Amino acid sequence: MNHFFRSSIRNKLLLLLAVTLAPALVIITYTGHERRQEAIAEAHREAILLVDTIANQQELLAESIGTMLVTLSRLPMVECLDGEACSAFFAELLDSLPHLTNIGLFNLDGDMVASGRTVEPFNNADSRQFRQAVASGRLAAGEYSLGRITRTPSFQFALPVYDQRQHLAGVIQAGYSLELFVDTFTKAELPSQTVLGILDHQGRRLFRYPPTDKFLTGEKAPDHLWTIFSGPEPQGAMLQLDGLQRPRLIAYRQLFLPHDPAPYTIIHIAVLKEEALLASRLALWRNLQLLGGAVLAALMLIWLFSGRLLLTPLGKLVTATQRLKDGDLAVRSALPHGSDELGRLAQAFDEMAANLEEQTRRLKEAEEGYRQIFEQSQRGIFQSSQEGRFYLINPAMAKIFGYEGPEEMLLGIKNLEEQLYVQAEDRLRLWQILQQEGAVEDFEVAMRRRDGSTIWVSLCARLIHGKQGKPLYAEGSLVDITARKAAEDEIKRSNAELEQFAYAVSHDMRQPLRMVSGHLELLAKQLGPRLDDTEAQSLHFALDGARRLDQMIVALLEYSRVGRKTEPKQPLESRQALEDALLFLEPAIKEKQAEINIHGQWPEIFASRDEITRLLQNLLDNALKYHRPAALPKVEINSRISDQYWLVTVSDQGIGIEPDQQHRLFQVFSRLQSREHFPGSGVGLALCRKIVTHHGGWIRADSAGPGQGSAFTFALPLTGGAP
């Protein structure tokens, strides 16, 4: 026995062949039937394996496109819908991602803002991926469509884009050609009439290979198949009759996006049962016919040619396998492919090496595309564990924290909570939000740079889970907002100084001014009869100036109180605020016999009641005041809702405004008309602008010129603006 194991492969083959000659016929006959059943099972397994391979390839592609879209959506040029910059960047990105058909950016109306490829502008609002991305706020998949450039079937993914205030600004979309699955399918060596099909969520054919005129792309799949494919089982295999009533072995798999219970596409493969069994029947007949001659020939061939036909090829395969293990993906067996074991082994090895080389190439291309975004982003990008270690950071992240590069920061930071966070509880609070909600946006926190200085950052992150739902790590980005925080602190300081100034004005300046006014009035009463005209006029000017100065101080006090000494913001019926303003102005309206017309929607808003009432009162008072002498005042008040904003326009038929003077309207103590004709302090419109700004809105004035009337429009967010 030991001599047998130490003998050459040639001698072993001869001895083994002699041992197996007697039962060979029985085995071949018996296994004929078994091979028929195994052929069916093998065809099923191969179909399921290929479906899984293509499905995994699709899932990897969808995940990489989703990651790319998330990264692109956070670029400043994308957030502000900069069409020219985005188009140039997308075009450069597409050069390194040839499997993508295009990358496009659209505004909320669906109009194309930017495109990586030259294409006629179009509106994308009716597409499924656009509608679902806007509605869900997450990555959305499309449905059957033809590429606008290639005119071949393509599949689209879309992701919502938010501006820097986290308002929905648009949608970014990327598509890829379904032709890339052909290579995987053709290399599977399935029977010639095997069919690969891809359906969208409605059962329409996105792709069929090989193509045929009988089953057109875009048509609905047969109902009996669609009922199975869209059923509760996400994956399966069955035997079904095709359109020619031929039995086919069919395998399918549903694909899903995260957080979406419905599949966005279905991949299926159909193998003709007759073809699956043909090889087994032919093999049985051939084996029975050639058994006798094959045995004799085998004895001769084993002895004469085993070295050239077996040992040498095996040596080449061993050498090629070793080189492949050492990383040489371009290695091939250099052996001819055939139906024998060595030929099939050589073919399988070469196909495996080619697949590994191609998959590695594609993976490197995808990694390079992501790496370019990762390396060139101005935002700090990171991956970190719950235990407080960085897995990955980009150069911008290292620069923000004062490190020379990512490697230095990775080596230097061992505990995020202790080394980066000024307040350790901030990181605990961040992870609590991530674990409860899965993501966090604009999380502002104080952190510590390498030199010990404190900076403020605004952080966006999401929690990544494994297949079992266990949290793996957090990934996200951050931006340095230290300058913004300093500006906010400066504003708070300035507001505090302004409040102190207002206090000084109200208590220190008005009291002496009232004394001056009182004594001037006393002098006027006592000396009035004895003063000549010039002296009386001078005393009148002094009294009038003191009164106007007191009015200006009172107006300035009201201006300084906006946002500090007024009612807090709360739900408010806007129409009630208008009615309050009209009630205050009722005497003036009756005196001037003014006509007031009110139009439009008056929604509930989140605002300060007395500030909104004062805003409307000032605008209406100006419309009543600045009317043409020969005409009665007529005021139109229009209210409407647009994009979550409440817009109000107060228009009149008054004296109008010089176009080159409109920029002065909202300045404090700025007057365009003389006090003799139109009295006032010059603070009313400045007060309106401050109220609108306090509520996170805007205000503007429009006029065609003198004598053409004026229209003042302001807009406030329905749910409240800046504090």
Find the range with the poorest average confidence among 534-538, 541-545, 577-581.
541-545
Which tens digits make up the pLDDT trace of 165-199? Answer: 999 999 999 988 777 666 666 666 667 778 878 88
Residue 216 has pLDDT above 80, yes or no: no
Q: What is the CATH number of the domain that holds 652?
A: 3.30.565.10
352 domain residue, yes or no? no
What pLDDT sits at residue 338? 79
- Pairwise CA distance, residues 383 & 394, whole Å: 10
- Comparing 363 with 249, which gets the higher pLDDT? 249
Asked if residue 658 belongs to a domain, the reply is: yes
Token pair 């906006």: residue: 562
Residues 588 and 654 in one domain: yes
Looking at residue 638, its pLDDT comes to 96
Give the count of domains, the chain.
4
pLDDT surpasses 90 at 448 = yes
Based on the fold, state whether residues 684 and 651 are members of the same structural domain.
yes
Q: Quote the pLDDT of residue 616.
A: 92
Helix boundaries (H) for 113-240: 128-136, 181-186, 223-229
Counted residue by residue, the chain has a size of: 723
Name the least confident of 216-225, 406-415, 454-463.
216-225
Mean pLDDT of the chain: 79
User: 395 lies in a domain?
Assistant: yes
Helix-then-strand count for the chain, H and E: 21, 23
Q: Strands, E, within 664-717: which ranges? A: 698-702, 711-717
Is there a domain that residue 46 lies in?
no
With cut-offs at 50, 70 and 90, classify the pLDDT of residue 306.
low
Selection from 20, 14, 3 nearest residue 310 by Cα: 14
Query: What is the model's pLDDT at position 25?
Result: 55
Examine the pLDDT at 674 and tell me if it is beyond 50: no
Please give the pLDDT value at position 723: 42
Question: What's the CATH code of the domain at 420?
Answer: 3.30.450.20
**Which pLDDT tens digit goes with each residue over 492-534?**
788 777 767 765 665 566 667 666 767 677 777 777 777 777 7
Choice between 232 and 715, residue whose per-residue pLDDT is larger: 715
| pLDDT for the residue numbered 248 | 82
Assigned domain for 252 exists: no
| Cα separation, 420 vs 399, whole angstroms | 14
> Quick one: CA torsion of 518, 523, 526, 531, rounded to 10 degrees?
-150
Whole-model pTM: value is: 0.36
Ranges 307-311, 442-446, 640-644, 675-679: which has the least confidence: 675-679
Q: Is 536 within 8 Å of 525 (Cβ atoms)?
A: no
Please tell me the number of Cα atoms within 13 Å of 550 on its side-chain side. 15
Structure-block tokens of residue 340: 């024998």
- Cβ neighbours of residue 9 closer than 8 Å, sequence gap 6 or more: 306, 310, 311
Residue 28 above 90 pLDDT? no
Assigned token pair, 207: 């792709």
**What distance in Å separates the CA atoms of residue 130 and residue 149, rounded to the nearest whole number?**
19
Residues 6+ apart with CB under 8 A from 358: 183
Task: Check whether 603 has a pLDDT greater than 90.
Answer: yes
Residue 416 makes CB contacts below 8 A (sequence gap 6+) with 384, 388, 389, 390, 427
In a domain, 6, yes or no: no
Work out the angle at residue 74's Cα, subtended by the Cα atoms of residues 73 and 75, and round it to the nearest 5 degrees: 95
Instruction: Give the mean pLDDT of 288-312.
Output: 58
Structural domain including 511 reads 481-561
- For residues 344-369, give the mean pLDDT: 78
Please give the radius of gyration of the chain, using alpha carbons only, rounded to the nearest integer. 40
Question: 416 and 396, same structural domain?
Answer: yes
Whether pLDDT at 707 is above 70: yes
Q: Which residue has the higher pLDDT, 267 or 369?
A: 267
**Cα 290 from Cα 473, distance rounded (Å):** 62
Q: Tell me: do 584 and 720 sit in the same domain.
A: yes
User: Is 228 inside any structural domain?
Assistant: no
Give the residue from 434, 452, 480 where a domain finishes.
480
Q: Are residues 75 and 146 in the same domain?
A: yes
Choose one of 130, 152, 177: the last residue of a domain: 177
The reply to whether 662 and 681 lie within a common domain is yes
- Cα distance between residue 143 and residue 86, in whole Å: 25
200 burial type by CB count under 10 A (0-12 exposed, 13-18 middle, 19+ buried): buried
Q: Are 624 and 592 in contact (CB under 8 A)?
A: yes
3-state secondary structure 510-568: HHHHHHHHHHHHHHHHHHHHHCCHHHHHHHHHHHHHHHHHHHHHHHHHHHHHCCCCCCC
Residue 412 resides in a domain: yes
Please check whether residues 123 and 87 belong to one and the same domain. yes
User: Quick one: 654 exposed, middle or buried, by C-beta within 10 A (0-12, 13-18, 19+)?
Assistant: buried
Evaluate whether 61 touches 92 at the Cβ level (below 8 Å): no
Residue 462: band (very low, low, confident or very high) from pLDDT cuts 50, 70, 90: very high
Residue 104 has pLDDT above 90, yes or no: yes
Instruction: Please give the pLDDT value at position 400.
Output: 92
End-to-end Cα, the chain, rounded Å: 92
Based on the domain organization, do 577 and 695 belong to the same domain? Answer: yes
| Residue finishing a domain among 116, 151, 177 | 177
Q: Is 18 exposed, middle or buried (0-12, 13-18, 19+ CB in 10 A)?
A: exposed
Give CA–CA dist 687/668, Å, rounded. 8
* Token output for 386: 């719950």
Q: Which pLDDT tens digit goes with each residue over 49-73?
A: 777 777 777 777 788 888 888 989 9
Q: Tell me the CA distances in angstroms from 572 to 328, 457, 645, one per residue in order.
A: 72, 35, 14
Reply yes or no on whether the pLDDT at 124 is more than 80.
yes
β-sheet bridge partners, residue 443: 459
* CB-based burial, 227-247: b 16+ in 10 Å, e otherwise: ebbbeeeeebbeeeebeeeeb
What would the mean pLDDT of 440-444 be, rounded to a whole number? 91
Domain identity same for 573 and 713:
yes
Residues 651 and 683 in one domain: yes
| CA–CA dist 603, 641 (Å, integer) | 8
Do 501 and 456 lie in a common domain? no
Within this chain, do residues 571 and 717 fall inside the same structural domain, yes or no? Answer: yes
Task: Say what the pLDDT of residue 451 is.
Answer: 92
